[in-house]
Chain A
Amino acid sequence: MTRLRGPVDLLRWAANPTGTVFVLLAVIFAWIFVLNDAFFAGPSFMAFLKQAAPLMVLAAGQYFVIVSGNFDLSVGALVGAQVVIAARLIDGEESRTVPVLLVMVGFGLLVGLVNGLITTVLKVQSFITTLGMLLVLFGAIRLWTGGAPTGGLSESFRTAGRMGIEGVPVLGQIPWAVIIMVAVGAGAILLMRTGFGRILMASGDNERAAGLAGARVDAARIAAFLLSGLSATIAGILIGGYAGVSAQVGDGLEFTVITAVVLGGVVLGGGRGSVLAAMAGALAIEALFSLFNQMALPATLRPTVQGAIIIAAVAYAARRRARPGSTAPHVSATANPS
């Protein structure tokens, strides 16, 4: 992100797709404030953040995949699978919590690895790979559980999603979910500043140039899928803790998170956007849904709004990039030595 040097730069920043999301977020918050200023009281705002945390964590994971030039549609199903796996394996036993958490991390990484290998080694478009993975997970979980999730989560498992540091002045409770989300965000920002992060970005921008510079483009992309699988695991732990076990956990989350990332100005196809903006996009989506609640609009409106946002955000970004003189013709990413 460019450093700001004056009001003109500020305006320019606000108009670029990365800056726009922060402006949008401010507008939504202002609107909520007008309707209900109590929303911003410490405890209620913390509760809102707690609810938004899983989507923000998922947005960070999805960001890595999108910025490297792919998609991960399997995250919603993976979140659902993780919650169901946790309930079934823990089955209410406190002592099983930690081993099961390790199993979940392993499973999340495995799904990411499979997605990554199929996409890079077999050269299946990630859209198809992860759509397939979504269906495989969805079906396998239902087969395994016979349709309804069984077992139960332990109290300590649910701590991360439900509890927090109590008795904090003004805020009341600082939820663990918020702390985890902030840690994930900070980690993601730092990771994007490393050589790995820069190569990931360059691979999404021009994989041929990155490859000729000696980058292991495929390895970087597989790593992005691993990070996405890991973020879905964390999100699953938070959602399971917060909302408990049901067969519908995670349904449709992949679309919400892609909407969020796109709203954050991250360009589909890769090479552009910041992880902070992607997470802000997730926060903006959650804020928008809260606004709908405040306005007493039906929750069934959400998918329609999400659809409209994803089209509008991509169209907006495309228009800005297509302005004469602002950009060189997009370089095809299919230039392969053959």
Chain B
Amino acid sequence: MTAPPVLDARGIDKAFLGVPVLSSVDLRIEQGEVHALVGENGAGKSTLMKILAGVHTADAGTIELGGRAVSFTHPLQAQRAGVATVFQEFNLLPELTVAENVHLGREPRRRGRIDRRAMAAATADLLADLGVDDLAPAAKVGSLSVAHQQITEIAKALSQGADLICMDEPTAALADAEVALLYRLVERLREKGVAVLYVSHRLREIFDLCDRITVLKDGRLVQCVDTADITPDDLVTAMVGRRIEAAFPERLPGTETGDVRLKVTGGGNARIDGVDLEVRAGEIVGLAGLQGSGRTEIAEAVFGIRPFTRGTVAVDGDVRRITSPRKAIKAGLALVTEDRKAEGLALNQSVRANARMVLDANAHLRSRRRLDRIPQILSGLDLVSRGDDQEVRYLSGGNQQKVVVAKWLAAEPGVIVLDEPTRGIDVGAKHRLYTQIRALAAEGLAVLLIASELIEVIGLADRIVVLHEGRIAGELPGGATEQEVMAYATGRRSTEDPA
């Protein structure tokens, strides 16, 4: 009889606030296996991992570890059962040493006192076993590189006796040389019989490292295959899947693509590099890319929140030094931010106060005419509220977003950047917003649209700029297929490759 699988999860369901995130997902991982979990943003990878880590509890389904049924309601229970998770945000205490972190809460003791020597020796053994020779047990964690902190996390997991280590985008913050180190570490874990659940967007790593691949899409299991039996292109197709085409409003008649309104040349900062981008009047340019690919970073750089440190930005032909949102607004830019509650609205203030906030904040924009237009703008967006003096925190997400959009339209910008404008709003409001975006383009605005829902970018944008790891990987015409976009977004293709 073969050994029971390290993990056998069946029929996992999970919903947040009534919205299903996972529907009867199965995941089976054998001993010593490196298992990839892949899918688009929002496919449910993180939720599944958090269920295994005990952060969330599944609504339905069973989880067996080594043949024993378990049910976690707290991360500590998962830890004790042998499931360790290395999140992107490490769970380490920076002021303590590597040895102290590895043994945190389980320090070896002698006569009631912590036995530091034993602790250091045990940590040194553990690191040697992992093939790591350049990390001192006495080093303070806060002073280590990201790669070494990650090793500390993995060593901690092993010292806790983990049979399964879940890694969330483990290479996201690593330099190339450090990735090689992680590869060696994962190989070593495999030899030791420790299973690894490897969550990553990077196809190369998946094909280099993993034995089998589980593909999730929209919270459902698409397939679970041996890596040897699938090609990277087929994997991308499996991740994207076939979807019923949502109805997107057509480009409005009379929309003319005019002069270049926004032009970024060679833009870069600590997070992005080599950004060349052009948006014309009447044009909707979509920025696509996986999480962390630099979409939001470009929006923030253009708008002066985390400005470009290299390259130039020109608005309507004039080169501008945009080093703050105030200067961006002066140049005629507007930014609908991704997080409307934290960044877009003063929730305790009225609809009116929020809608006129940009005008109030920028004296050069404040005019009777612009103020008088606000009610028109709000009704044009079909805002549903109890009146202009209602506090925006009482509005639905969709209506809140309309207030944010109204706030920017009141300033009559030339370029509008929309970062995830439909996040968390209902279908009807989404559609209304799509129509509005088309209308903005028809009025001659340049629209830069960021959305993690690929279908939105494809359905709305005239051109799609695809990002991969902070750089522009390629450009596609509107209406490109999701496979084409994903090929660039996952680094399968880039403009440098021969076509």
A201-B325 in contact (CB<8A):
no
B 300-335 contacts with A by CB, 8 A: 300, 303, 305-306, 325-326, 328-330, 335
Alpha-carbon separation in the docked complex, A131 to B303 (Å): 37
Chain A residues with Cβ below 8 Å from B348 are 205, 271-272
Q: Indicate if B360 sits at the interface (CB-CB under 8 A).
A: yes
Q: Indicate if A208 sits at the interface (CB-CB under 8 A).
A: yes
A212-B347 in contact (CB<8A):
no
Task: Tell me how many residues of A have a C-beta within 8 Å of chain B.
Answer: 26
Alpha-carbon separation in the docked complex, A198 to B326 (Å): 17
**Given A211-B325, A212-B337, A331-B341: A201 touches B357 (CB 8 Å cut-off):** no
**Given A212-B305, A213-B407: A199 touches B361 (CB 8 Å cut-off):** yes
Q: Kindly name the residue among A202, A208, A214, A335 whose own CB sees the greatest number of chain B CB atoms within 10 A.
A: A214
B358-A271 in contact (CB<8A):
no
B361-A206 in contact (CB<8A):
no
Alpha-carbon separation in the docked complex, A327 to B391 (Å): 10
Closest partner residue, chain A, to B364 (CB atom)? A214
Chain B residues with Cβ below 8 Å from A332 are 342
Report the minimum CB–CB distance from B142 to chain A (whole Å).
17
**Given A198-B357, A202-B353: A210 touches B305 (CB 8 Å cut-off):** no
Chain B residues with Cβ below 8 Å from A210 are 346, 357, 361
Chain A residues with Cβ below 8 Å from B300 are 337
Closest partner residue, chain A, to B353 (CB atom)? A198
Chain B residues with Cβ below 8 Å from A215 are 326, 357, 360-361
Closest partner residue, chain A, to B345 (CB atom)? A209
A213-B347 in contact (CB<8A):
no
Alpha-carbon separation in the docked complex, A3 to B335 (Å): 33
B 191-243 contacts with A by CB, 8 A: none
Chain B residues with Cβ below 8 Å from A2 are 389
Chain B residues with Cβ below 8 Å from A328 are 341, 347, 393
A206-B353 in contact (CB<8A):
no
B360-A195 in contact (CB<8A):
yes
* A-contact bits for B339-373, CB 8 A (1 contact / 0 none): 00111111111000110111111110010000000
Q: Kindly name the residue among A215, A271, A272 whose own CB sees the greatest number of chain B CB atoms within 10 A.
A: A215
B356-A198 in contact (CB<8A):
yes
Alpha-carbon separation in the docked complex, A328 to B424 (Å): 15
Report the minimum CB–CB distance from B443 to chain A (whole Å).
21
Chain A residues with Cβ below 8 Å from B337 are 212
Alpha-carbon separation in the docked complex, A198 to B346 (Å): 11
Closest partner residue, chain B, to A2 (CB atom)? B389
* A-contact bits for B444-478, CB 8 A (1 contact / 0 none): 00000000000000000000000000000000000
A212-B345 in contact (CB<8A):
no
A206-B325 in contact (CB<8A):
no
- Which single member of A202, A327, A337 contacts B305 (CB below 8 Å)? A337
B335-A212 in contact (CB<8A):
yes
Report the minimum CB–CB distance from B72 to chain A (whole Å).
26
Alpha-carbon separation in the docked complex, A303 to B362 (Å): 44
Q: Indicate if A216 sits at the interface (CB-CB under 8 A).
A: yes
Report the minimum CB–CB distance from A17 to chain B (whole Å).
12
B329-A214 in contact (CB<8A):
yes
A205-B347 in contact (CB<8A):
yes
Report the minimum CB–CB distance from A168 to chain B (whole Å).
38
A271-B342 in contact (CB<8A):
no
A337-B349 in contact (CB<8A):
no
Chain B residues with Cβ below 8 Å from A214 are 325-326, 328-330, 358, 361-362
A 269-293 contacts with B by CB, 8 A: 271-272
A 309-338 contacts with B by CB, 8 A: 327-328, 331-332, 335, 337
Report the minimum CB–CB distance from A192 to chain B (whole Å).
11
Alpha-carbon separation in the docked complex, A328 to B342 (Å): 11
Chain B residues with Cβ below 8 Å from A331 are 341-342, 347
B345-A198 in contact (CB<8A):
no
Closest partner residue, chain A, to B337 (CB atom)? A212
Report the minimum CB–CB distance from A176 to chain B (whole Å).
35
Closest partner residue, chain A, to B358 (CB atom)? A213
Alpha-carbon separation in the docked complex, A208 to B349 (Å): 14
A199-B360 in contact (CB<8A):
yes
A209-B343 in contact (CB<8A):
yes
A 205-232 contacts with B by CB, 8 A: 205-206, 208-216
Closest partner residue, chain B, to A1 (CB atom)? B389
Alpha-carbon separation in the docked complex, A215 to B329 (Å): 10
Report the minimum CB–CB distance from A189 to chain B (whole Å).
16
- Which single member of A3, A271, A327 contacts B346 (CB below 8 Å)? A271
29 A-B pairs with CB atoms under 8 Å apart are: A195-B361, A198-B349, A198-B356, A198-B357, A201-B346, A202-B353, A202-B354, A205-B347, A205-B348, A206-B343, A206-B347, A209-B345, A209-B346, A210-B357, A210-B361, A212-B335, A212-B337, A213-B329, A213-B361, A213-B407, A214-B329, A214-B358, A215-B326, A215-B360, A215-B361, A271-B346, A271-B348, A271-B349, A331-B347
The 3 closest A-B pairs by CB, nearest first: A215-B361, A205-B346, A195-B360
